[in-house]
Amino acid sequence: MTTSTSARVNNKSNGNSYFSLTVRSSRVAVMITTFFSIALNLISCSPRADSVQPEDTIEVYTISGTRITAGIDSNSTLKSVAPFPIGAAINPRLLSSIPLYKETLQREYNSVSSENCFKMNQIQPKAGGFYWKDTDALVNFAKESNMRVHGHTLIYYKSLPEWVTSFQGDSLAWENLMKTHIQTVVGRYKGVVTSWDVVNEAFEDDGTLRRSVWYEKLGADYIARCFQYAHQADPRALLFYNENVVGKPKKLTAVLALVNNLKKRGIAIHGIGVQMHININTSEEALTTDVRQFVNTGLLVHISELDIRMNPTYSTNFTLTNALQTRHALKYKNVAKLYRSVVPKSQQFGITNWNVGDADSWLRKTSPCEDYPLLFSDNYSRKPAYYGFIQGLTN
Protein backbone atom coordinates (compact mmCIF):
# COMPACT_ATOMS: atom_id res chain seq x y z
CA MET A 1 0.00 0.00 0.00
CA THR A 2 1.30 3.40 -0.84
CA THR A 3 0.60 5.92 1.82
CA SER A 4 0.60 9.62 1.35
CA THR A 5 -0.49 12.66 3.19
CA SER A 6 -0.99 16.19 2.10
CA ALA A 7 -0.38 17.45 5.61
CA ARG A 8 1.82 20.50 5.59
CA VAL A 9 4.49 21.65 7.94
CA ASN A 10 4.02 25.29 8.80
CA ASN A 11 6.55 27.62 10.25
CA LYS A 12 4.92 29.92 12.73
CA SER A 13 6.23 33.13 14.08
CA ASN A 14 7.10 31.50 17.37
CA GLY A 15 9.49 29.31 15.50
CA ASN A 16 7.62 26.05 16.06
CA SER A 17 7.18 23.74 13.14
CA TYR A 18 4.02 21.82 13.20
CA PHE A 19 1.72 19.80 11.10
CA SER A 20 -1.95 20.48 10.70
CA LEU A 21 -4.70 18.08 9.89
CA THR A 22 -8.28 18.94 9.16
CA VAL A 23 -10.97 16.29 9.12
CA ARG A 24 -14.04 16.75 6.93
CA SER A 25 -17.49 15.39 7.54
CA SER A 26 -18.33 13.06 4.70
CA ARG A 27 -21.99 13.29 5.53
CA VAL A 28 -22.56 16.98 5.78
CA ALA A 29 -19.49 18.00 3.86
CA VAL A 30 -18.69 20.64 6.41
CA MET A 31 -15.15 21.37 7.35
CA ILE A 32 -14.43 20.57 10.93
CA THR A 33 -14.02 23.75 12.86
CA THR A 34 -11.74 22.34 15.46
CA PHE A 35 -8.36 23.88 15.03
CA PHE A 36 -5.48 21.84 16.11
CA SER A 37 -1.99 21.04 15.28
CA ILE A 38 0.51 18.44 16.15
CA ALA A 39 4.11 19.34 16.35
CA LEU A 40 6.35 16.76 14.89
CA ASN A 41 9.96 16.44 15.51
CA LEU A 42 10.68 14.81 12.20
CA ILE A 43 14.28 14.17 12.91
CA SER A 44 14.91 13.00 16.41
CA CYS A 45 11.46 11.82 17.54
CA SER A 46 11.87 13.27 20.97
CA PRO A 47 9.06 11.94 23.19
CA ARG A 48 7.84 15.49 23.77
CA ALA A 49 7.70 16.42 20.12
CA ASP A 50 4.27 17.95 20.06
CA SER A 51 2.25 20.94 21.04
CA VAL A 52 -1.24 22.28 20.57
CA GLN A 53 -1.57 25.52 18.68
CA PRO A 54 -4.57 27.27 17.20
CA GLU A 55 -4.47 26.60 13.49
CA ASP A 56 -6.41 28.12 10.67
CA THR A 57 -4.90 26.24 7.78
CA ILE A 58 -7.17 23.73 6.16
CA GLU A 59 -5.45 20.59 5.09
CA VAL A 60 -6.77 17.40 3.58
CA TYR A 61 -5.26 14.26 4.93
CA THR A 62 -5.10 11.28 2.59
CA ILE A 63 -4.28 7.60 2.74
CA SER A 64 -3.72 6.00 -0.64
CA GLY A 65 -5.64 8.82 -2.20
CA THR A 66 -8.55 8.51 0.22
CA ARG A 67 -9.42 11.33 2.56
CA ILE A 68 -9.42 10.64 6.25
CA THR A 69 -12.89 11.92 6.95
CA ALA A 70 -15.00 11.76 10.04
CA GLY A 71 -18.60 12.64 10.67
CA ILE A 72 -17.89 14.85 13.62
CA ASP A 73 -18.15 18.50 14.49
CA SER A 74 -16.00 20.63 16.72
CA ASN A 75 -17.80 19.50 19.88
CA SER A 76 -17.42 15.84 19.15
CA THR A 77 -15.40 13.55 21.37
CA LEU A 78 -14.75 9.83 21.41
CA LYS A 79 -17.64 9.17 23.77
CA SER A 80 -20.05 11.44 21.94
CA VAL A 81 -19.62 9.71 18.59
CA ALA A 82 -19.11 6.10 19.65
CA PRO A 83 -22.11 3.76 19.65
CA PHE A 84 -20.62 1.84 22.61
CA PRO A 85 -18.52 2.76 25.67
CA ILE A 86 -15.00 3.98 25.05
CA GLY A 87 -12.60 3.38 27.88
CA ALA A 88 -9.08 4.04 28.98
CA ALA A 89 -7.00 2.07 31.43
CA ILE A 90 -5.84 4.59 33.95
CA ASN A 91 -3.35 5.18 36.64
CA PRO A 92 -5.26 7.01 39.42
CA ARG A 93 -2.12 8.75 40.65
CA LEU A 94 -1.89 10.67 37.37
CA LEU A 95 -5.39 12.08 37.95
CA SER A 96 -4.09 14.35 40.67
CA SER A 97 -0.65 15.05 39.27
CA ILE A 98 -1.54 15.88 35.63
CA PRO A 99 -4.62 18.09 35.19
CA LEU A 100 -4.73 17.46 31.43
CA TYR A 101 -4.83 13.72 32.02
CA LYS A 102 -8.00 14.11 34.05
CA GLU A 103 -9.54 16.66 31.67
CA THR A 104 -8.89 14.49 28.62
CA LEU A 105 -10.46 11.49 30.32
CA GLN A 106 -13.51 13.45 31.36
CA ARG A 107 -13.95 15.00 27.94
CA GLU A 108 -13.37 11.92 25.80
CA TYR A 109 -14.15 8.73 27.72
CA ASN A 110 -17.13 7.17 29.44
CA SER A 111 -15.47 4.07 30.82
CA VAL A 112 -12.31 3.44 32.82
CA SER A 113 -10.32 0.35 33.44
CA SER A 114 -7.47 0.04 35.91
CA GLU A 115 -4.03 -0.38 34.43
CA ASN A 116 -2.43 -1.74 37.60
CA CYS A 117 -4.13 -0.68 40.83
CA PHE A 118 -6.47 -3.67 41.10
CA LYS A 119 -3.65 -6.16 40.59
CA MET A 120 -2.93 -8.29 43.61
CA ASN A 121 0.50 -6.87 44.44
CA GLN A 122 -1.03 -3.40 44.62
CA ILE A 123 -4.36 -4.09 46.28
CA GLN A 124 -3.26 -6.76 48.76
CA PRO A 125 0.45 -6.11 49.24
CA LYS A 126 0.40 -7.88 52.62
CA ALA A 127 -1.59 -10.94 53.64
CA GLY A 128 -4.98 -9.58 54.62
CA GLY A 129 -3.65 -6.02 54.32
CA PHE A 130 -5.67 -4.41 51.59
CA TYR A 131 -4.65 -1.08 50.10
CA TRP A 132 -7.72 0.76 48.85
CA LYS A 133 -6.42 4.26 48.33
CA ASP A 134 -5.77 4.05 44.59
CA THR A 135 -8.78 1.92 43.71
CA ASP A 136 -11.03 4.19 45.77
CA ALA A 137 -9.57 7.20 43.92
CA LEU A 138 -10.29 5.47 40.61
CA VAL A 139 -13.90 4.60 41.41
CA ASN A 140 -14.58 8.02 42.96
CA PHE A 141 -13.22 9.72 39.86
CA ALA A 142 -15.41 7.49 37.68
CA LYS A 143 -18.44 8.29 39.79
CA GLU A 144 -17.97 12.05 39.67
CA SER A 145 -17.29 11.80 35.92
CA ASN A 146 -20.22 9.52 35.17
CA MET A 147 -18.04 6.73 33.87
CA ARG A 148 -18.35 2.99 33.97
CA VAL A 149 -15.64 1.09 35.89
CA HIS A 150 -14.10 -2.13 34.63
CA GLY A 151 -11.86 -3.87 37.16
CA HIS A 152 -8.65 -5.38 35.86
CA THR A 153 -7.80 -7.95 37.18
CA LEU A 154 -8.60 -10.36 40.01
CA ILE A 155 -6.48 -13.44 39.33
CA TYR A 156 -3.31 -13.18 37.25
CA TYR A 157 -0.09 -15.17 37.16
CA LYS A 158 1.88 -11.91 37.25
CA SER A 159 1.87 -8.94 39.61
CA LEU A 160 1.73 -11.18 42.66
CA PRO A 161 2.90 -9.95 46.05
CA GLU A 162 5.83 -11.72 47.62
CA TRP A 163 3.66 -13.11 50.41
CA VAL A 164 1.69 -15.07 47.80
CA THR A 165 4.66 -16.42 45.86
CA SER A 166 6.21 -17.63 49.10
CA PHE A 167 2.96 -18.79 50.69
CA GLN A 168 3.11 -22.20 52.36
CA GLY A 169 -0.12 -24.08 52.76
CA ASP A 170 -2.17 -27.00 51.57
CA SER A 171 -4.71 -26.78 48.77
CA LEU A 172 -7.42 -25.73 51.20
CA ALA A 173 -5.32 -22.82 52.41
CA TRP A 174 -4.57 -21.80 48.82
CA GLU A 175 -8.23 -22.03 47.90
CA ASN A 176 -9.10 -19.84 50.83
CA LEU A 177 -6.43 -17.31 49.88
CA MET A 178 -7.76 -17.05 46.33
CA LYS A 179 -11.41 -16.92 47.36
CA THR A 180 -10.81 -14.35 50.08
CA HIS A 181 -8.92 -12.12 47.68
CA ILE A 182 -11.63 -12.23 45.04
CA GLN A 183 -14.51 -11.80 47.43
CA THR A 184 -12.93 -9.02 49.47
CA VAL A 185 -12.15 -6.95 46.38
CA VAL A 186 -15.39 -7.63 44.50
CA GLY A 187 -17.40 -7.23 47.71
CA ARG A 188 -15.94 -3.81 48.47
CA TYR A 189 -16.94 -2.50 45.06
CA LYS A 190 -20.21 -4.37 44.73
CA GLY A 191 -22.59 -2.36 42.58
CA VAL A 192 -19.82 0.15 41.81
CA VAL A 193 -17.47 -1.80 39.57
CA THR A 194 -19.66 -2.91 36.68
CA SER A 195 -17.42 -5.65 35.34
CA TRP A 196 -14.27 -7.60 36.12
CA ASP A 197 -11.48 -9.37 34.31
CA VAL A 198 -11.81 -12.30 36.67
CA VAL A 199 -8.89 -14.27 35.27
CA ASN A 200 -6.20 -12.83 33.02
CA GLU A 201 -3.82 -14.67 30.69
CA ALA A 202 -4.29 -18.22 32.00
CA PHE A 203 -2.96 -19.84 28.81
CA GLU A 204 0.39 -20.21 27.13
CA ASP A 205 0.70 -19.41 23.43
CA ASP A 206 0.55 -23.13 22.58
CA GLY A 207 -2.89 -23.39 24.19
CA THR A 208 -1.82 -25.28 27.29
CA LEU A 209 -2.71 -23.92 30.69
CA ARG A 210 0.02 -21.74 32.08
CA ARG A 211 1.81 -23.31 35.02
CA SER A 212 0.94 -20.37 37.23
CA VAL A 213 1.00 -20.60 40.98
CA TRP A 214 -2.82 -20.92 40.83
CA TYR A 215 -2.69 -23.85 38.46
CA GLU A 216 0.10 -25.54 40.38
CA LYS A 217 -1.62 -25.27 43.74
CA LEU A 218 -5.26 -25.60 42.73
CA GLY A 219 -5.46 -27.50 39.44
CA ALA A 220 -6.99 -26.61 36.08
CA ASP A 221 -10.45 -25.88 37.39
CA TYR A 222 -9.31 -22.94 39.50
CA ILE A 223 -10.55 -20.70 36.69
CA ALA A 224 -14.13 -21.89 37.02
CA ARG A 225 -14.04 -21.38 40.77
CA CYS A 226 -12.73 -17.82 40.38
CA PHE A 227 -15.82 -17.00 38.35
CA GLN A 228 -18.06 -18.65 40.94
CA TYR A 229 -16.46 -16.73 43.80
CA ALA A 230 -16.74 -13.42 41.96
CA HIS A 231 -20.36 -14.12 41.10
CA GLN A 232 -21.19 -14.90 44.72
CA ALA A 233 -19.64 -11.61 45.83
CA ASP A 234 -21.57 -9.50 43.31
CA PRO A 235 -24.21 -11.40 41.35
CA ARG A 236 -24.85 -8.40 39.12
CA ALA A 237 -21.26 -7.82 38.04
CA LEU A 238 -20.33 -8.77 34.50
CA LEU A 239 -17.52 -11.29 34.51
CA PHE A 240 -14.88 -11.51 31.78
CA TYR A 241 -12.05 -13.81 30.84
CA ASN A 242 -9.25 -11.60 29.44
CA GLU A 243 -6.48 -12.82 27.14
CA ASN A 244 -3.81 -11.85 24.69
CA VAL A 245 -4.80 -13.97 21.70
CA VAL A 246 -3.92 -11.87 18.66
CA GLY A 247 -1.69 -13.89 16.35
CA LYS A 248 -1.90 -16.90 18.68
CA PRO A 249 -4.44 -19.30 17.18
CA LYS A 250 -3.79 -22.18 19.57
CA LYS A 251 -4.33 -19.95 22.53
CA LEU A 252 -7.49 -18.60 20.98
CA THR A 253 -8.86 -22.11 20.51
CA ALA A 254 -8.09 -22.88 24.15
CA VAL A 255 -9.91 -19.75 25.31
CA LEU A 256 -12.95 -20.68 23.24
CA ALA A 257 -12.95 -24.17 24.75
CA LEU A 258 -12.68 -22.69 28.24
CA VAL A 259 -15.54 -20.23 27.89
CA ASN A 260 -17.79 -22.76 26.17
CA ASN A 261 -17.09 -25.21 28.96
CA LEU A 262 -17.94 -22.61 31.62
CA LYS A 263 -21.14 -21.73 29.78
CA LYS A 264 -22.15 -25.38 29.47
CA ARG A 265 -21.69 -25.87 33.20
CA GLY A 266 -23.84 -22.83 33.96
CA ILE A 267 -20.95 -20.90 35.51
CA ALA A 268 -21.44 -17.15 35.30
CA ILE A 269 -19.27 -15.76 32.54
CA HIS A 270 -20.50 -12.82 30.55
CA GLY A 271 -17.71 -11.71 28.30
CA ILE A 272 -14.31 -12.11 26.72
CA GLY A 273 -11.63 -9.45 26.80
CA VAL A 274 -9.41 -9.33 23.73
CA GLN A 275 -6.33 -7.36 24.77
CA MET A 276 -5.16 -6.11 21.36
CA HIS A 277 -1.63 -4.87 21.92
CA ILE A 278 -0.94 -4.68 18.21
CA ASN A 279 1.18 -2.72 15.76
CA ILE A 280 0.83 -0.92 12.46
CA ASN A 281 1.60 -4.12 10.54
CA THR A 282 -0.95 -6.37 12.28
CA SER A 283 -3.29 -7.93 9.74
CA GLU A 284 -6.91 -6.80 9.91
CA GLU A 285 -7.99 -10.13 8.45
CA ALA A 286 -6.48 -12.01 11.38
CA LEU A 287 -8.08 -9.62 13.87
CA THR A 288 -11.43 -10.04 12.19
CA THR A 289 -11.20 -13.83 12.35
CA ASP A 290 -10.26 -13.71 16.03
CA VAL A 291 -13.07 -11.36 16.98
CA ARG A 292 -15.61 -13.28 14.93
CA GLN A 293 -14.83 -16.49 16.82
CA PHE A 294 -15.46 -14.74 20.12
CA VAL A 295 -18.69 -13.30 18.81
CA ASN A 296 -19.83 -16.86 18.07
CA THR A 297 -19.77 -17.67 21.79
CA GLY A 298 -22.66 -15.25 22.24
CA LEU A 299 -20.76 -13.47 25.04
CA LEU A 300 -19.94 -9.78 25.30
CA VAL A 301 -16.74 -8.86 23.50
CA HIS A 302 -14.46 -6.20 24.96
CA ILE A 303 -11.41 -4.90 23.14
CA SER A 304 -9.86 -4.47 26.51
CA GLU A 305 -6.30 -3.17 26.04
CA LEU A 306 -5.94 -1.43 22.71
CA ASP A 307 -2.66 0.15 21.75
CA ILE A 308 -0.90 0.15 18.39
CA ARG A 309 2.87 0.29 18.22
CA MET A 310 4.39 2.43 15.47
CA ASN A 311 7.81 0.92 15.92
CA PRO A 312 7.22 -2.84 15.96
CA THR A 313 10.80 -3.69 15.04
CA TYR A 314 12.13 -1.69 17.99
CA SER A 315 14.29 0.31 15.65
CA THR A 316 16.76 2.52 17.42
CA ASN A 317 16.74 4.84 14.41
CA PHE A 318 13.01 5.38 14.55
CA THR A 319 11.73 8.57 12.92
CA LEU A 320 8.19 9.73 13.47
CA THR A 321 7.07 10.64 9.96
CA ASN A 322 3.75 11.84 8.62
CA ALA A 323 3.46 8.61 6.64
CA LEU A 324 3.78 6.55 9.81
CA GLN A 325 1.21 8.67 11.62
CA THR A 326 -1.11 8.08 8.68
CA ARG A 327 -0.67 4.31 8.78
CA HIS A 328 -1.22 4.42 12.51
CA ALA A 329 -4.44 6.41 12.05
CA LEU A 330 -5.62 3.93 9.45
CA LYS A 331 -5.00 0.98 11.77
CA TYR A 332 -7.01 2.63 14.55
CA LYS A 333 -9.76 3.31 12.06
CA ASN A 334 -9.83 -0.29 10.92
CA VAL A 335 -9.95 -1.68 14.46
CA ALA A 336 -12.94 0.52 15.31
CA LYS A 337 -14.61 -0.38 12.05
CA LEU A 338 -14.12 -4.09 12.42
CA TYR A 339 -15.48 -4.00 15.96
CA ARG A 340 -18.59 -2.22 14.73
CA SER A 341 -19.09 -4.50 11.78
CA VAL A 342 -18.22 -7.87 13.34
CA VAL A 343 -19.64 -7.53 16.86
CA PRO A 344 -23.42 -7.27 17.05
CA LYS A 345 -24.69 -4.33 19.11
CA SER A 346 -25.96 -6.58 21.88
CA GLN A 347 -22.41 -7.96 22.37
CA GLN A 348 -20.54 -4.65 22.16
CA PHE A 349 -19.11 -4.06 25.61
CA GLY A 350 -16.78 -1.39 24.24
CA ILE A 351 -13.20 -0.59 23.35
CA THR A 352 -10.65 0.38 25.97
CA ASN A 353 -7.38 2.14 25.15
CA TRP A 354 -4.42 1.08 27.24
CA ASN A 355 -3.96 4.53 28.82
CA VAL A 356 -4.38 8.05 27.43
CA GLY A 357 -1.28 9.90 26.21
CA ASP A 358 1.78 8.38 24.60
CA ALA A 359 3.91 9.36 27.58
CA ASP A 360 1.63 7.31 29.87
CA SER A 361 1.94 4.15 27.82
CA TRP A 362 3.49 1.07 29.35
CA LEU A 363 5.35 0.64 26.05
CA ARG A 364 7.40 3.74 26.80
CA LYS A 365 8.56 2.00 29.94
CA THR A 366 8.93 -1.54 28.67
CA SER A 367 10.10 -1.15 25.06
CA PRO A 368 13.76 -0.60 24.45
CA CYS A 369 12.91 2.01 21.80
CA GLU A 370 10.65 4.96 21.38
CA ASP A 371 7.05 4.61 20.31
CA TYR A 372 3.82 6.56 19.96
CA PRO A 373 1.09 3.97 20.41
CA LEU A 374 -1.97 5.89 21.66
CA LEU A 375 -4.57 8.41 20.47
CA PHE A 376 -3.18 11.38 22.36
CA SER A 377 0.30 12.84 22.30
CA ASP A 378 2.55 13.34 25.28
CA ASN A 379 0.76 16.59 26.04
CA TYR A 380 -2.72 15.20 25.32
CA SER A 381 -3.31 16.78 21.94
CA ARG A 382 -5.34 14.70 19.49
CA LYS A 383 -3.14 12.76 17.11
CA PRO A 384 -3.97 11.60 13.57
CA ALA A 385 -4.75 8.26 15.25
CA TYR A 386 -7.52 9.99 17.18
CA TYR A 387 -9.17 11.12 13.96
CA GLY A 388 -8.65 7.77 12.32
CA PHE A 389 -10.32 6.10 15.31
CA ILE A 390 -13.18 8.62 15.20
CA GLN A 391 -13.65 7.85 11.55
CA GLY A 392 -13.82 4.13 12.25
CA LEU A 393 -16.35 4.77 15.01
CA THR A 394 -18.60 6.86 12.83
CA ASN A 395 -18.35 6.13 9.12
Quick one: 39 or 308, whose CB is closer to ligand XIL? 308
Chain position whose Cβ is nearest to ligand XIL: 362
Q: Interaction with ligand XIL in 260-319: which residues (CB under 6 A)? A: 275, 305
Q: How far is the CB of 243 from ligand XIL (least distance, A)?
A: 8
Q: How far is the CB of 34 from ligand XIL (least distance, A)?
A: 30
Quick one: 8 or 133, whose CB is closer to ligand XIL? 133
Would you please indicate which residues are annotated as catalytic (active-site) residues? Answer: 201, 305
Interface mask (CB under 6 A) for ligand XIL, residues 85-124, using x and -?
------------------------------xx--------
The Cα 298–Cα 52 span in angstroms is 43
Contacts 24+ apart (CB under 8 A), 361-368: 361/307, 362/115, 363/307, 363/309, 364/47, 367/309, 367/311, 367/314, 368/314, 368/316
134 makes contact with ligand XIL (CB under 6 A): no
Interface mask (CB under 6 A) for ligand XIL, residues 343-372, using x and -?
-------------------x----------
State which H helix or E strand residue 301 sits in: strand 300-309
Q: How far is the CB of 116 from ligand XIL (least distance, A)?
A: 5
Quick one: 108 or 305, whose CB is closer to ligand XIL? 305
Which of 195, 200, 348, 391 is in the footprint of ligand XIL by CB under 6 A?
200
In the chain, the N- to C-terminal Cα span, in Å, equals 21
Contact of 126 with 109, CB cutoff 8 Å:
no
3-state secondary structure of 211: coil
Q: Interaction with ligand XIL in 34-53: which residues (CB under 6 A)? A: none
Phi and psi based region of residue 247 (left: phi greater than 0; alpha: psi -120 to 50; beta: remaining)? left
Contacts 24+ apart (CB under 8 A), 292-299: 292/342, 293/252, 293/256, 294/256, 295/342, 295/343, 295/344, 295/347, 297/256, 297/259, 297/260, 297/263, 297/272, 298/263, 298/347, 299/259, 299/263, 299/269, 299/270, 299/271, 299/272, 299/347
Q: How far is the CB of 9 from ligand XIL (least distance, A)?
A: 33
Residue spans of alpha helices (H) in the chain: 78-81, 92-97, 99-108, 120-123, 133-144, 162-165, 171-188, 213-218, 222-233, 249-264, 284-295, 322-342, 362-366, 384-394
Q: How far is the CB of 342 from ligand XIL (least distance, A)?
A: 22
Q: Report how many residues bind ligand XIL under the rule CB under 6 A.
A: 7
Q: How far is the CB of 194 from ligand XIL (least distance, A)?
A: 18
- Residues contributing to the site for ligand XIL (CB under 6 A): 115-116, 200, 244, 275, 305, 362
